Structure 1
Amino acid sequence: MTATENGEALTGENPMLFESQVPDEELLWHRMGMEVTECTPDRVVGTMPVSGNRQPYGLLHGGANAVLAESLGSTAAVLNAGPGRIAVGLELSCTHHRAATDGVVTGVATPLHRGGSTATYEIVITDERGKRTCSARLTCVLRDQPPGQ
C-alpha cells in the first residue's frame, strides 16, 4: 500500500510506504481507530476517537496521544526518508495541556529537521474545538530498509 498526496483517507490502514509484515487488524494504528486524512512530505494529519482510548477517569489516555503522535511523525519521516529507507522512533516527548473527554482529536505532524540520518517532527494534537490538548516532538533515525522486507 502506498500513502497518497491528495488527502485520501487511509482509515485503519497502515499509512507507511511499505507493506506491513502483519495484518492491518493487528496494527496498533488500526486498533485505536486512527485515520490519516492528509499525507504529504510536508504535513501528515490524522484523527483518533477519544472513545475506546480513555484512561480510568474518562479522559483521553496520555499514551493514546503518544501513539497518535508517533504514528503521524513516523509516517512523515518515512515519506521524507525516500525509497528503500525506513524510519525508527528514537525519542518521543509529549506535553499534555488539557484533557479531551469526548469526540475526536486531530494530530498534525510537520517537520522541524529533515536530515539524512535523523528527522524531527512537531506533532500538535487538538480537540474538536481547536484547543491544543498535546504538543509532541518525535525524532526518528532514518536507515536503509533491511533486506527481504
Structure 2
Amino acid sequence: MTQEEILALSKKVCKNTLMETLEIEFTEIGDDFLIAKMPVTPKVHQPDGVLHGGASVALAESVGSMASYVFLDTNHFTIRGIEISANHVKSVADGFVYARASFIHKGRTTQLIEIRITDDAQNLISLVKLTTIALPKKR
C-alpha cells in the first residue's frame, strides 16, 4: 500500500469512532513508523485547562494499534491492545499534539510499540508503551 492508500484507509476505518470524536488524523507513514495528530482544545482538556492524560492515552493507543494494523497481515489477524502504560512529562493547553508510533518488537503474536507524543515545538509531552496482540480471525 502507498502512503496515500494507507492514510485514506485510516480515514475510512476511523469514521464514527473515538478517533473521529477526538479529531485524530493520521498524517505520515514510513517503513517502520506511523504519525497521527490531535488538536488540543477544551474538548480534550482536564478541568484546569490542559490536555487530559486520558486523551493522550487514547491518541497513543489509536496510533499504536493502527501501526500494528498497517504493518501486520490483517487479512488473517485481528489486532487488539492488551497493555498500555504512559508517562506524562509536560502539559500542553493548545495547538496540536503529534504521536509517533514505532515498533520495539514486531512478533507474530505480540508487538511492543513506543509512542512519543510531542507538541508543536517538539517538546515531549508523553511517552507511552503499548502491547498489541494479533489474534487469528475466525473463518
Q: TM-score, normalised by structure 2?
A: 0.89
The answer on whether the counterparts of 1:43 and 1:108 sit within 8 Å (CA) in structure 2 is yes
Alpha-carbon distance, 1:94 to partner: 0.4
> For the residues of structure 2 that align with 1:111 and 1:9, how far apart are their CA atoms?
19
Percent identity of equivalent pairs: 31
Alignment correspondent of 1:21 = none
RMSD over aligned Cα, in angstroms?
Answer: 2.2
Q: Of the candidates 64, 68, 71, which is equivalent to residue 73 of structure 1?
A: 64
Q: Which has the higher helix share?
A: 2
Residue of structure 2 aligned with 1:37, choices 27, 32, 49: 27
Structure 1 ranges of 4+ moved more than 6 A: none
Give me the TM-score of the superposition, normalised by structure 1.
0.83
Cα distance in structure 2, aligned partners of 1:13 and 1:89: 20
TM-aligned CA deviation for residue 86 of structure 1: 1.6
Residues 47, 136 of structure 1: alpha-carbon distance in 2 compared, 3 angstrom cutoff = same
The answer as to whether partners of 1:10 and 1:36 remain within 8 angstroms in 2 is no
Does the residue aligned with 1:13 lie in a helix, a strand or coil?
helix
From 124, 127, 137, give the equivalent of 2:116.
124
2:39 is equivalent to residue 49 of structure 1: yes
Q: Which runs of 5+ in 1 are unaligned?
A: 17-23
Q: Which amino acid aligns with 2:120?
A: E
| Post-superposition offset of 1:81 | 2.2
